[in-house]
Amino acid sequence: MSGINPYTKAQNALETPRQIEYRLFSSVTRALMEVRPLMQSKLPADVSKIAYAIGWNRDMWNHLMPEVLDEKNPMSKDLKLSLINICLFVNKRTDEITQGKSTDVEPLITINRNIMDGLK
């Protein structure tokens, strides 16, 4: 048996790319919202949850960038530039959180929610 869940495969076949992106952003944003009250915690379990959520968010944004930068992508140059700048911000904020310089995940949640609004 392959590692692909047959239900996920069927769901992806029925959804548009925008719906799949929306679902991904929704899941990642939910993870960020769940760790928001834990951001001051030093408990290992909480730190692990925080690291997972912000890492997942960073990974999602970093995986979107090659698609955004693809010359065949029909997005306007302004939109591409905006998304690149958001990705840079996400990486910077994630670094600040992992280095203990910030505990504020709210900007990451807000960004993701704004992207989700655009995908509706």
pLDDT tens profile 19-35: 999 999 999 999 999 99
Quick check: 2 pLDDT over 90?
Answer: no
Please give the Cα distance from 72 to 116 (Å, whole number): 23
Amino acid at 9: K
Radius of gyration of the chain (CA): 16
Q: pTM of the predicted model, to two decimals?
A: 0.86
Tens digit of pLDDT for each residue in 37-47? 999 999 999 99
In the prediction, which pLDDT does 64 show?
93
In the prediction, which pLDDT does 108 show?
98
Query: In the CATH hierarchy, which fold is given to the domain comprising 6-119?
Result: Four Helix Bundle (Hemerythrin (Met), subunit A) (1.20.120)
Please give the Cα distance from 114 to 29 (Å, whole number): 11
